[in-house]
């Protein structure tokens, strides 16, 4: 599973899956352009990659801004050449029931989770056509399973899944592989970020630790899926199990969702 001399651009690389995936691909020989909004995190990531003999460049990027992504692609060209693999990973959370949110909340999450993906793809599309490369879209099992309290986030991931399924066939004529990744519960800061985008390490993670996969393990599985050109890959047994129940035993799935929702709510109230 070598990625020697493959030029890879990753959005949302300052933490979680993006961070771990950058390290994994760099260790496998890829040249990295890592992007995110947090400069210090990106600098630390680049230093860690270079200390281990890898090659990486960082650039501050907000995926809501097309110009930022164009600058990231230009940096890739100046440093390595055309992009072979683009990983659209940047995403934000949005907590709360539908009646606790506003249309502005929905617009906010769609700007990053949906239009941010589109901005990333459009910025890299010419390169991918030339290299017949890979477009990797990090979605979520929430793109299949909407649970109480996740209406905005789930809507954004349903949209991303629809986009990936559509462009898979559209881009095949250019030799581009489209790979949809559906992580379940993976070690990440996203569940510790509030609706204003503030990270709070003291915020209670509602997911039990035994259900959470380490980011490094998830990165290895994703790297394997990219290497093999998988059309779609679920990350984590519990996520795939939930998907299976949703598809084939919906009555049991919804019963379990209702029970789990009551347990989580009672725990939060305490």
Residue with tokens 């600098």: 43
The verdict on whether 243 is a catalytic residue reads no
Q: Give yes or no for a contact between 226 and 138, defined as CB atoms under 8 angstroms apart.
A: no
201 CB-contact burial (10 Å; exposed 0-12 / middle 13-18 / buried 19+): exposed
Number of alpha carbons in the 13 Å side-chain half-sphere of residue 208: 7
Annotated catalytic residue within 19, 153, 243, 253: 153
Could you give phi then psi for residue 199, rounded to 5 degrees? -85, 130
Q: How far is CA 103 from CA 99, 146, 157, 165, 166, in A?
A: 10, 18, 17, 26, 26
* Angstrom distance (rounded) from CA 72 to CA 165: 26
Specify the DSSP element, H or E, that contains 185. Answer: none
* Angstrom distance (rounded) from CA 105 to CA 47: 36
Q: Which residues are catalytic?
A: 153
């Amino acid at each position: 599973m070598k990625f020697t001399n493959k030029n890879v651009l990753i959005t949302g690389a300052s933490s979680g899956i993006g961070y771990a995936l950058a390290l994994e691909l760099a260790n496998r020989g890829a040249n990295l352009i890592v992007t995110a909004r947090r400069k210090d995190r990106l600098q630390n990531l680049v230093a860690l990659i270079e200390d281990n003999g890898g090659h990486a460049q960082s650039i501050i990027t907000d995926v809501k801004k097309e110009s930022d992504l164009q600058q990231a692609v230009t940096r890739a060209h100046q440093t390595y050449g055309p992009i072979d693999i683009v990983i659209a990973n940047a995403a934000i959370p949005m907590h709360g029931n539908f009646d606790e949110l506003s249309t502005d909340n929905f617009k906010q999450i769609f700007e990053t989770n949906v239009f941010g993906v589109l901005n990333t793809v459009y910025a890299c599309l010419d390169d991918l056509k030339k290299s017949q490369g890979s477009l990797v879209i990090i979605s979520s099992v929430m793109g299949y399973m909407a649970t109480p309290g996740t209406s905005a986030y789930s809507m954004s991931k349903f949209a991303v899944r629809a986009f990936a399924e559509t462009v898979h066939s559209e881009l095949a004529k250019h030799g581009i592989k489209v790979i949809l990744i559906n992580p379940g519960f993976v070690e990440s800061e996203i569940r510790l970020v509030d609706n204003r985008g503030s990270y709070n390490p003291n915020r209670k993670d509602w997911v039990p630790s035994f259900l959470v996969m380490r980011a490094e393990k998830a990165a290895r599985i994703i790297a394997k899926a990219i290497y093999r050109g998988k059309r779609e890959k679920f990350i984590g047994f519990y996520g795939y199990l939930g998907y299976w129940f949703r598809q084939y035993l919906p009555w049991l799935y919804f019963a379990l969702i209702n029970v789990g929702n009551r347990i989580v709510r009672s725990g939060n109230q305490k």
